[in-house]
Each structure stands twice: as C-alpha cells, then as structure tokens.
Structure 1
Amino acid sequence: MTNPPLPAPSGPDGLMVWPDLLERPRPQPDETIRYGADQMQLVDLWLPEGAGPHPTVLMVHGGCWQTEIADRRIMNWIADDLRKRGVAVWNIDYRGVDRDGGGYPGTFADAAAAADALRAHAPRFNLDISRLVATGHSAGGHLALWLAGRPRLPEGSPLRAADPLPIHAVVSLGGLPDLEEAARPPGSGCGTEVIGRLTGGNFADTSVPRLAPLGVPQVLVNGLQDRIIPTAYAEGYAAPMRAAGDAVRVRMVDRTGHVELIAPETAAWAAAAEEIMKALGR
C-alpha cells in the first residue's frame, strides 16, 4: 500500500510552512523512556524491524531552545523515516530556557543526561552505538554538535563529565552552532535575547567553536531560502572549525526553507539521510 500524495507546500514563496508538516498524521515511537523526574526529561526510541544490532542515531529537536515552541515530537516524521531505513533513533527531549531548571546549565545538563542514558539502555534494545551519529534541527543542530564536543569542555565547567557518551559524526539540519554569532544583532529567527537566557553569558562551554576541534566529521545541511537561520551561519561556522583541524562539509539545498529540513519527502531530508547513512557505514 502506498502513501497518499502530500499536498504542495502552502507558503507564498512555494516553501513549506509549519502546518504543512504538523497537520499531517504523526507516526509514533516504539518506546518512551524517562531519564529524569521532569515531564520533559524523556526520550522516544524508534526501533526498526528485526533483532538487531541496530545502527543508531541520536536525534535532537529544535525550537529556539524553548519548550513552548517545540518538543521532541516535531522530529517524529524523520525519526520514522530512519526507522524504515533500518536505523534506531534515540530522540531526546530537554527543558528549554522557558522551563524551571532550563537555561544554563540545565538545558545542557538535560541533553547530556539524555545522551548518556543511551549507553545504559543500548544493551536492552540491542542498539549498536559503536558508530553513533547525532543529528539535530535548528537549535537541536547546536545541541547535537555540542554533545559531540563534550569531551572538550573546559576545566571548571559544571557541564564537564568524566566519561561522556562518544559521538562519531554529526549531521546538523539548519543549526546555530556559533552562539556568539547568533547573539549579535540581527541574530537569527530565534532572536538574540534567547541566547543570553540559554548561556548566561557563558560561551566557553556552550558555543561549539570554543570547543574546537571536535575531532568528528560534521556535515551541515541548510536551506538556501531558510528565513530562520541565515545561510551565512553554516560557512561562518565551518571555516574556523576546518582551520582548527575538523572535517566539516556544508550542503546548501535550493528551494528549501526551515521546515523542509525535517520533512521526509524533501530534497533536504534526502541529502541529510544520505549523510546519516554514510556516517553509519550503511
């Protein structure tokens, strides 16, 4: 049975708008796992068919680091697409800056705890995390890259951990990895004020370029017509990371805004999925 055709993008410029994605039937995960007491401290696990071991992707949602804008469920459509490709997805949630305990260091501590919980649950679900790929959209692109950089956190940071979960590659979807750049006017579609709430002025352990080199391959997939994330952000991040020794590639996708990056039928997601599967060795 084939899926019915999706309607054409409804934006005035021929690009997708949020209802084009959010108003379609939403696929559901196989398990929801709690890693803390807060209602946002949850992970959805998407399991492919078969006994495994399953190649695994750690997924991080965006929403300008604000819970009221988005939670992990905004990623369900691409999580389902990866599940159909034979890949398990560990789709994390976290307290945004607009929640008690969010901001600095709570939002980062949540992302770290959710990631580290994957190691504890991997044997139960036969998840192969030996070649773990992290992917995130928008603000989640920043957090996915930050998770890969955790071994580089400076001495004295409350976010340092003795043995953070190793991440072996990152695919960022319209991310904002350089928080110092995003904090400068005019900023991004998230505004500049949210960066202060997220970091408390602490860029040394929150902005990814401060952690360079990460030591893992990174691919940035961005839309040429993205109105939320300035297109200059991608190469603006990639150039100094390359200079520090990291392997960073940028893929700009034409006729693509911000929503297309997490809609499974789009050219943008096809590019991202290709990079994810390649990083998994599939």
Structure 2
Amino acid sequence: MRRRLLLQGAAALALATSPALRAAEGAAGFDTLDLDWTDTARQRPVPVRLHLPQQATKARPTPLFVISHGIGGSRGGYSWLGRHLASQGIACLHLQHVGSDRSLWGGSVLGLVGRLQAAAQDEEALARTEDFRFALDTLLTSEAGERIDVRRIVATGHSYGANTSLLVAGAQVQREGQPLLLVDPRVAAVVVLSAPPFYGQGEPGDILGNVKVPSLHITCTEDVIRIPGYWSDLADRLRVYEAIGSRRKWLAVFQGGAHSMFTDRNGPGGALNPQAKRASQALVTAFMHAVFEGDERALTAWPGQHADILARFQGPTA
C-alpha cells in the first residue's frame, strides 16, 4: 500500500512498507515517509526520509532531528537512531546528499578512490549544507511542518555528516580568504558521531569556536577513517570536541569499536556494536532532556549505567 503526503510546493510519495513493518511502526506510534524533493534553484535532488510521530500536533509540536549521512550513505541509514527517536515522540528527517551518497559505490572499482575524493571536496561540502537548509525549509512550510517545534531542531550527523551538522551549527570555514557564513539559526543543538576535523581549514579553535549551541559528541577508541588523503583517528574526535565554543558540551568515548559501527551495519565493532547503539540511543534522549527541559538527571546517571563499555565520558566544566 502506498500513502501520499502533500507538502507545500511538492507532491511526495510515501514509503511503501511491508504489512509487518507498518504494524511495527504503528505500534511504535510514528509514520515513515520517503519524500523525493528537488531544489529547483540548484537543480539538485534532495531525497529524504521522514519519521513523524503520530502524537505530534500543531498544539503539541515535536522536536526534530535532521540527520546527515556519512560518505556513501543514504536517507535509509541510521535507522537505529531515527526509528528509536521517533518511537519516543521525536521527529527525524534523514537527508540524502546526492553528490556524496551511496551512488559512489557504483561504477568501476578502479574509479572508487577518485569518486570518494571528489565527494570530499569543498563544493560538495557546501552543497550538503544547502541540502540541509532546503529540506528544513520544505518540511517547515508543509502541513507536516505545523507539527514541528521550531525551537527544538537538532542537527545530527555521522562522519562527513558530522562536518555538515557542525557547519550549520556555526562552524566557520574560509574560502579564498573569506569566511563562509553557513550557520542556520534554527539549529538549537547538535549531535555528532565520529566527527572528523575540517581538513586543510586551519586551527580547530578558529573553526569550531563559533559553535555556541549545546553539543553531544559520540565516538570510540578505534574510530579510524581510512579514505586516501583523509586519514583520521580518535585524537581528531577529541580535538573537535575540545575546540567547540559552547560550554554546554558532552563527550562519550566507547572502548573499542570501529568508525562504521555507527552506521546501520551490524558487524563493525563486534560485540560492542549493539551495546554502543543502545547506549547511544539512551544518551541522545538524555541529552534532549538536559538541553530542552533543563533536566540533567538521566545524563548524569548515564555514564554509570554504561561504565563497562565506556573509555571516557566528559561533560560541561565550570
């Protein structure tokens, strides 16, 4: 069965699901919709997946997570996080960035490295921030947008998506000697998984000191990126965290793992993989309570509840 959601300026085709999946999502209290949008100003498709809690109304709007994938990903990724949040009454908008999405894996194997390197260039990095803005504009001006609380929008991303999320949260890079103002003032907080450095952009403090919104950083001790020309490890994740300008920032480092453990793949990181995902689900929810409700009890209790898989946990300092 297919369902349609009419958004202002676009007719969007809903996700076709199996009866079992529809029943599971109905029981969890949210609808899942695949929406094929196009930013006509840039002639760039921006496919998205929206998890929209059924309990959200215009009178009682829901927070929104806008999730940006890593290199080679898609709108279908990070379902372990998006579906969990939706089941907790939080909307999630999963972006697909067509210049750095799963299409990179197609074509000749001999050209793969070149495709990956091209996708990591400035033009695509900037286009991803425009995808974020366009998708958020489109959703908020739709009928569904009336059910979103514009005061509680969280930019979220893994790897390359973490860079995208930090840019719209206030990170400032330069091009031809001039600072680029990419911040989206609607972003009230940011959650980053495996955040790489901004390669070749200067000192982390100069770039990330402008991020003033609360932030949550999640990584692991074996969090290593291996793309030719873009090698990065845990030390880079820690430098990103330390350089953030907001005092309200939290860091969780799991013991072991792998960089791709935070995707929907079940293998990377071994036995830690499902444990880290469950712990991260609880951590993100606790972060939401702390940032938007001023209730830090769950966040304070979290490291003790997961001490057996944690290498480090750090919160705001006075």
TM-score higher than 0.5 = yes
Q: Deviations over 1:209-257 (max 9, x none)?
A: 525222111221111233435221222122233xx55543321122433
Work out whether 1:50 is the aligned partner of 2:55. yes
Contact 2:173 2:179 in 1 (8 A): no
> Who is 1:250 aligned against?
251
Moved more, 220-229 or 265-274: 265-274
Counterpart-to-counterpart distance in 1, 2:139 and 2:218: 29
Counterpart-to-counterpart distance in 2, 1:235 and 1:82: 26
Deviation at 1:119? Answer: 3.2
Contact 2:129 2:167 in 1 (8 A): no
Equivalent of 1:142 in 163, 170, 174: 163
Contact 2:35 2:47 in 1 (8 A): yes
Counterpart-to-counterpart distance in 2, 1:257 and 1:211: 24
SS of the residue 2:82 aligns to: helix
Equivalent of 1:279 in 288, 291, 294: 291
> Who is 2:310 aligned against?
none
Counterpart-to-counterpart distance in 1, 2:73 and 2:156: 16
Equivalent of 2:127 in 109, 123, 147: 109
Amino acid across the alignment from 2:49: D
Counterpart-to-counterpart distance in 1, 2:45 and 2:88: 28
Deviation at 1:277? Answer: 4.8
Return the structure number with greater strand share: 2
> Who is 1:268 aligned against?
280
Counterpart-to-counterpart distance in 2, 1:166 and 1:177: 24
> Who is 2:153 aligned against?
132
Amino acid across the alignment from 1:78: L
Q: Deviations over 1:34-87 (max 9, x none)?
A: 142667522221101224212111111112xxxxx3223222232111111111
Counterpart-to-counterpart distance in 2, 1:239 and 1:70: 27
Moved more, 51-60 or 79-88: 51-60
Counterpart-to-counterpart distance in 2, 1:226 and 1:209: 24
Q: Which has the larger radius of gyration?
A: 2
Describe the shift of the 1:249–1:209 C-alpha distance in structure 2 as closer, same or farther (beyond 3 A).
farther
Contact 1:48 1:86 in 2 (8 A): yes
Counterpart-to-counterpart distance in 1, 2:32 and 2:241: 33
> Who is 1:122 aligned against?
140
Identify unmatched segments of 5+ residues in structure 2. Answer: 1-20, 26-30, 105-114, 226-231, 265-273, 296-318
Amino acid across the alignment from 1:55: P
> Who is 1:70 aligned against?
73
Describe the shift of the 1:32–1:208 C-alpha distance in structure 2 as closer, same or farther (beyond 3 A).
farther
Q: Deviations over 1:172-227 (max 9, x none)?
A: 111114323xxxxxxxxxxxxxxxxxxxxxx37xx785252221112211112334
Q: Deviations over 1:143-194 (max 9, x none)?
A: 11111116x5669859546x834211111111114323xxxxxxxxxxxxxx
Q: Percent identity?
A: 21
Identify unmatched segments of 5+ residues in structure 1. Answer: 1-24, 64-68, 181-202
Counterpart-to-counterpart distance in 2, 1:277 and 1:259: 27
Amino acid across the alignment from 1:170: V
Higher RCO structure (Cα 8 Å, ≥6 apart): 1
TM-score (norm 2): 0.59
Counterpart-to-counterpart distance in 2, 1:261 and 1:270: 14
Counterpart-to-counterpart distance in 2, 1:230 and 1:158: 27
Contact 1:261 1:268 in 2 (8 A): no
Describe the shift of the 1:70–1:147 C-alpha distance in structure 2 as closer, same or farther (beyond 3 A).
same
How many matched pairs? 226
Work out whether 1:217 is the aligned partner of 2:218. no
RMSD: 3.6
Contact 1:137 1:173 in 2 (8 A): yes
TM-score (norm 1): 0.65
Contact 1:171 1:218 in 2 (8 A): yes
Amino acid across the alignment from 1:32: L
Deviation at 1:101? Answer: 8.8
After TM superposition, the structure 1 = structure 2 runs for residues 197-208 of structure 1, keeping only pairs within 5 Å, are: 203=201
SS of the residue 1:83 aligns to: helix
Describe the shift of the 1:255–1:269 C-alpha distance in structure 2 as closer, same or farther (beyond 3 A).
farther
Deviation at 1:102? Answer: 7.7
SS of the residue 1:179 aligns to: coil
SS of the residue 2:39 aligns to: coil
Amino acid across the alignment from 1:274: A
> Who is 1:61 aligned against?
69
